[in-house]
A and B are shown apart, each in its own frame.
Chain A
Amino acid sequence: GQQLNQSPQSMFIQEGEDVSMNCTSSSIFNTWLWYKQDPGEGPVLLIALYKAGELTSNGRLTAQFGITRKDSFLNISASIPSDVGIYFCAGYEETSGSRLTFGEGTQLTVNP
């Protein structure tokens, strides 16, 4: 199935560092979403973006909806150990109903 190209695949950082990850697509998306998944659990919604160019923050998280509608990035500032997990970007295409297309995920490890 179609997937978004998400990078990097994994990151190993020290506590307190900032993190950036991004997603690109060959298709235009109407909405971009960022989820975090902990082991054995379902993805938890972090941020939703609805308009091209939109920049949205949620605490230490900041995400942007690319102006071309084909990309998005997520930044995490001042990382802490509980940020560990897999981060997924996901998008809705206009004609896809409630069908989300997901990126491959970024595995984040934070060393205390």
Chain B
Amino acid sequence: KAGVTQTPRYLIKTRGQQVTLSCSPISGHRSVSWYQQTPGQGLQFLFEYFSETQRNKGNFPGRFSGRQFSNSRSEMNVSTLELGDSALYLCASNPFAGGALFMDNEQFFGPGTRLTVL
């Protein structure tokens, strides 16, 4: 079974631009979560989508948004990029919403998209 895939793997943008990142979850997984990883803040939760609905949102400004399609693929968008948005953006999927409150619903991560804002 293929793992979580993310595209592109690397991206360079300039301040003020916008960017869209894509994530394809593991086949059969319906929940997709996004995380931002930086050296200073570590891994921070952005949002979670399940059945095309945002279920949970972290403490990020409105410039960060996402969506999920009917095939469970997800995109996240960052508008008006700032230098501080440079990070590794990780997508993770699990079969169901509600986290790993029970077995067989663990979260698996993709390789990430490395975004550099100049």
Q: Is the CB of A97 within 8 A of B106?
A: no
B80 within 8 A of A: no
State in angstroms the CA–CA spacing of A78 and B36 once bound together. Answer: 33
Chain B positions within 8 Å of A94 at CB level:
101
**60-96 of chain A: CB within 8 A of chain B:** 88, 90, 92, 94, 96
Q: Is the CB of B33 within 8 A of A100?
A: yes
Q: Is the CB of B106 within 8 A of A45?
A: yes
Interface size for chain B: under 10, 10 to 19, 20 to 34, or 35 or more residues?
20 to 34
Q: Is the CB of A98 within 8 A of B42?
A: no
Chain A: CB-nearest residue to B59: A1
Chain B positions within 8 Å of A97 at CB level:
48, 55-56, 97-99
Tell me how many residues of A have a C-beta within 8 Å of chain B: 28
State in angstroms the CA–CA spacing of A41 and B106 once bound together. Answer: 18
Please pick, from A42, A50, A96, A98, the residue contacting B94 in the complex, using a CB distance under 8 A: A98
A44 within 8 A of B: yes
Q: Is the CB of B103 within 8 A of A50?
A: yes
Interface residue SS majority, chain A: loop
List the one stretch of B11-19, B65-73, B107-115 in contact with chain A. Answer: B107-115
Chain B: CB-nearest residue to A49: B100
Nearest-neighbour CB distance to chain A for B7, whole angstroms, equals: 13
Q: List 16 A-B contacts (CB under 8 A).
A: A1-B58, A1-B59, A31-B99, A33-B106, A41-B111, A41-B112, A42-B110, A44-B109, A88-B43, A94-B101, A96-B99, A97-B97, A99-B56, A99-B58, A101-B45, A102-B42
Residues of B within 8 A of A (CB): 4, 31, 33, 35, 41-45, 48, 50, 55-56, 58-59, 90, 92, 94, 97-103, 106-112, 114
